[in-house]
Structure 1
Amino acid sequence: MKRVNSEKVQIIACGAIAREILAVRDANGLDHIDLECLPAIWHVYPEKIAPALREKIAAARAAGYGRIFIGYAECGTQGQIDKICEEEGIERIAGPHCYAFFTGTEKFLAECETEFTAFYLTDLITRQFEAFVIEPLKLDKHPELRDMVFGNYTKIVYLAQTEDKALQDKAKWAADYLGLDYEYRFTGYGDLDPALKALG
């Protein structure tokens, strides 16, 4: 085991928010923060997340990191991430999922009371819509599944972290592909920004 460096922080995060973490880190000169990611596609297989987090935490401690932070919300792990955080004495970003902390968790939860037929996109999911939505659900091979899966949704809401015209066009295309209305909301980095600044 290396000597503990109390100033160094290891963030262990979902690959779906890697760009955003690095953007906040670099914009604020948080050079003491290092990032280690698990595959973003594991949102489709949340049972893989907790065991891999335990391995990454053990590796970070062995590498001498004085502080570890989990860049995951609850993310469908049925309480497993919170259990790990409690056992290991480390923190995670607050919220049930990335849609919430990008919007601002309190605001998102309030909106959910009346917006339960919305399907949300972020920059990453928009960019990788085929890999995250179309291919796992086999909509490319079985288009008849579209209405079965998305028949109870009424709109796509694109929660944008960056103002990118190409991504806005892609999100509108995704809404058209699924036969849903489209709404654009710029969130920026939401609660992620203050959470990382607090590691300074």
Structure 2
Amino acid sequence: MAEVGRVALIACGALAQPAAAIAERRGWAMDVHPLPPLLHNQPKRISGEVRALAEVLRPRYAKIVIGYADCGTYGALDEVCADLGLERLPGLHCYDVFGGASRLERFFADQPGTYVLTDFLVRSFARTVERELGLDRYPELRDDYFGAYTRAVWLAQEPGDDELVQLARAAADRMGLPLTVVPTGDRGLETALESLVPIQAG
């Protein structure tokens, strides 16, 4: 039996923690169910994983919403949402959610070789980037992976966190790229979630 008024957010693991913090701050009756963030390295799997979890959660919740943008699924996630009557976050990727689609378009138009970081990627760079690409074992491959990039842009949800600042600089250094810090906060994510969460859940 569905829990009256409760919403399940099936979220990318990279968005789960800030989404849960926003829900708690706003008093939303929303439970966050994260999927592994490393799915972003295999985006063709995202839609299937979302579908499977949505089917499991459906009997328990009044509503299910999807905490992913398209995220490299090339419309496959939208097909799942259409089949199951679900809504997802807007945009092509989570960078649009945090930084705004028009701002990201300008970044890539100004410098197509822009590598974008979020707080999650800054914190997990060693695991989700270096280890996944094998750079911890073969550091000489750095230029093969990042040689075409010209800068790293950190969309900073917590720009005043000294530890994150140091980690962002270290990540950019390991890629051999200059770092641009763009403070965003979580307002973009909060606004996107507001459009998905029904009023009675707040």
TM-score interval w.r.t. the shorter chain? over 0.9
CA distance in 1, matches of 2:77, 2:187: 21
Match of 1:114 among 105, 110, 115: 110
Deviation track 1:35-65 (CA, whole Å, cap 9, x = no partner) reads 11100111112122111111111112122x1
Aligned to 2:43: 46
Aligned counterpart for 2:16 among listed residues 18, 23, 42: 18
State whether residues 101 and 190 of structure 1, in contact with CA within 8 Å, keep that contact through their aligned partners in structure 2: no
Candidates 137, 140, 143, aligned match of 1:141: 137
Q: Write the distance in 2 (CA, Å) between the matches of 1:117 and 1:130.
A: 21
Instruction: Tell me the residue number matched to 2:55.
Output: 58
User: Counterpart in 2 of 1:151?
Assistant: 147
Residue in structure 1 matched with residue 182 of structure 2 by the alignment: 185
**C-alpha displacement of 1:193:** 0.7
The number of equivalent residue pairs is 196
Bigger helix fraction: 2
TM-score of the pair, normalised by structure 2: 0.92
Note closer, same or farther for the CA distance 1:54–1:37 as it changes in structure 2 (3 Å cut). same
Partner Cα separation in structure 2 for residue 190 and residue 116 of structure 1: 26
Task: Give the Cα separation in 1 of the matches to 2:3 and 2:25.
Answer: 23
Report the Cα offset of residue 115 of structure 1: 2.7
Where in structure 2 are there 5+ consecutive unaligned residues? Answer: none
User: Shift in Å at residue 10 of structure 1?
Assistant: 0.7
For residues 122-181 of structure 1, what are the alpha-carbon distances to aligned partners after superposition, in whole Å with 9 as ceiling and x for unaligned? 111100101111111111211221111111111111111113111111111111111111
Amino acid at match of 2:148: N
Correspondence 1:93-108 to 2 at 5 A: 93-108=89-104
> Does the 8 Å contact 1:102/1:192 carry over to 2?
yes
Aligned to 1:173: 170
2:123 aligned partner: 127
Aligned-partner Cα distance in 2 for 1:66–1:110: 39
After superposition, what is the alpha-carbon deviation per residue over 1:87-124, rounded to whole angstroms, capped at 9, x for unaligned?
A: 11110000111111100123222332223111111111
Normalising to structure 1: TM-score of the pair? Answer: 0.93
In 2, are the aligned partners of 1:104 and 1:190 still within 8 Å (CA)?
no
Alpha-carbon RMSD across the aligned residues, in angstroms, is: 1.4
Q: Give the CA deviation at 1:191.
A: 2.4
Partner of 2:71: 75
Question: How far apart are residue 6 of structure 1 and its match?
Answer: 5.0
- Give the partner amino acid of 2:45: K
